[in-house]
Amino acid sequence: MRKLLLILMSLLCLISSGLVLASETSDIYRLRPGDTMMISVWREEALQRQVLVLPDGSITFPLIGRIVVSGLSTPDVERKMIQKLKEYYPDPIVTVVIVGIDGHRAFVTGKVMHPGALIVNGPISVLQAISLSGGFDRFADENGIKLVRTSDKGQEILNVNYKDIISGKNMDTNFLLQAGDTLVVP
């Protein structure tokens, strides 16, 4: 009976840890070019440094050289670096901490008061992006707003119905901006 109870408890722990891991990976941050990380190898002061993810999605680190990290989470980068460092250290402990998310940008262009880049450090809707850009200038065409989004399929143009959004009739086109999006206000 005791063995059965231990087996059931072990299974329950495995199942619950799998569920936690599954829920954590769905919303986990993925690195992009322009992001900055602090990387340290435990007990190795020479292997502690801040690195920038380059435009090609790679970083360079001593003993490891160049590795591609774009699209990976910090635990993924830690595992990748541990594998490479095992040539030099028996059991390296690597810690990767994101210290800057400058690669997570969206852009607002056209007839707004302050066009430019926005750091997407949380959910930002079309309305919020327009507000962060200072609002429309006096010549803006509120009926022609478009969101240009790049995906695996290429670029797609999403129409924004500003009048429906501000009237509360239909919020479907108050899209949440993603990294790399460009909001165009003609």
Q: Using 50, 70 and 90 to split pLDDT, how confident is the model at 26?
A: low
**CATH numeric code, 105-185:** 3.10.560.10
Distance (Å, whole) CA 179 – CA 107: 9
Quick one: average pLDDT of 12-26?
A: 43
Chain segment 114-163, per-residue pLDDT in tens: 999 998 888 899 999 999 999 999 999 999 999 999 887 889 999 999 99
Quick one: average pLDDT of 85-101?
A: 94
What does pTM read for this prediction? Answer: 0.67
Domain 35-101 in CATH: superfamily?
wza like domain (3.30.1950.10)
User: Any idea where the domains of the chain sit in the sequence?
Assistant: 35-101, 105-185
What is the DSSP code string of the chain?
-HHHHHHHHHHHHHHHHHHHHHHHHHT-----TTEEEEEEETTEEEEEEEEE--TTSEEEETTTEEEE-TT--HHHHHHHHHHHHTTT-SS--EEEEEEEETTSEEEEEESBSS-EEEE-SS--BHHHHHHHTT-B-TT--TTS-EEEEEETTEEEEEE--HHHHHHTS--TT-PBP-TT-EEEE-
Q: Using 50, 70 and 90 to split pLDDT, how confident is the model at 13?
A: very low
Q: What is the CA radius of gyration of the chain?
A: 23
Distance (Å, whole) CA 119 – CA 181: 11
CA atoms within 13 A on the CB side of 34: 12
For 100, counting Cβ atoms within 10 Å of its Cβ (0-12 exposed, 13-18 middle, 19+ buried), the class is: middle
